[in-house]
Structure 1
Amino acid sequence: MFKQLTDPKEPGFQVFVDGMAVSARPGDTVAAVLLRTPPHLARHTPVRESPRAPFCLMGVCFDCLATVDDQTSVQTCLVEARPGMRIERPRGKLKVAQ
């Protein structure tokens, strides 16, 4: 579905999406990683749990929100993937730590 434009010989690294190890490359945004990882979406809406995927890829639409390294509501299109990063796709209402 999406083609990576970086040099395939460039060493990649692993991030974890919903607990599953996924490969990423330097310069990838977290949104790009989510778009390449089935089911190719970033989150489900809080009320109706409708699937959402990154749309604008420039921080305007907020459809790419996910939990990154335990920080909720991160705009994944604005965050570069780093080795070992933990990404969780929200489903339903957010659970706020107290």
Structure 2
Amino acid sequence: MTFQRIEKAPIAGLLHFEGRDIPFHAGDTLATALLAAGINAFRRTALSGEQRGPYCLMGVCFECLLCVDGIDNLRACVTPARNGMKIQRQQGAPAGPELKPEEQP
């Protein structure tokens, strides 16, 4: 499926996606900016290595997880685009939070 903008708007800034500069518009999320640029594979599954991308676009399905500025597991569909963000596809399973010694079984 191809995504395109309904109307032209001025570019608000640039995202840096795996060595490529991606323009975004005011009000864009990371998902809408990347989809408008023709990027629809945001991560690979840990089990099969299959590519995954945004599905629900409302923060429920977790298919659009990205690594943003070194932070894993950010949902692209609910993360506002900000100038200069460094974005990478997430590889494998999302990392869970580290448990403190007193929280470990």
Q: Structure 2 vs 1, CA of residues 67 and 55 (structure 1 numbering), >3 Å: closer, same or farther?
A: same
The CA deviation string for residues 44-74 of structure 1, in whole angstroms up to 9 with x for no partner, is 1122111111000111100000111111000
Report the secondary structure of 2:41's partner residue. Answer: coil
Which residue number corresponds to residue 67 of structure 2? 67
Which residue number corresponds to residue 43 of structure 1? 43
TM-score (norm 1): 0.83
Residue correspondence of structure 1 range 13-24 to structure 2 within 5 A? 13-24=13-24
Counterpart of 1:4, as a letter, is: R
Cα pair 1:35 1:42 within 8 Å, conserved? no
Cα pair 1:30 1:77 within 8 Å, conserved? yes
CA–CA separation in structure 2 for the residues paired with 1:20 and 1:40: 14
**Greater radius of gyration (CA):** 2
* Structure 1 gap segments, 5+ residues each: none
Percent identity (aligned):
33
Cα pair 1:35 1:53 within 8 Å, conserved? no
Q: CA deviation at 1:2?
A: 1.3
TM-score (norm 2): 0.78
Counterpart of 2:63, as a letter, is: D
Report the secondary structure of 2:74's partner residue. Answer: strand
Q: CA deviation at 1:11?
A: 3.5
CA RMSD after TM alignment:
2.2
Runs of 4+ in structure 1 over 4 Å off? 93-96
Which residue number corresponds to residue 80 of structure 2? 80
Aligned length: 96
The CA deviation string for residues 70-92 of structure 1, in whole angstroms up to 9 with x for no partner, is 11000111111000011111133
Q: Structure 2 vs 1, CA of residues 29 and 39 (structure 1 numbering), >3 Å: closer, same or farther?
A: closer
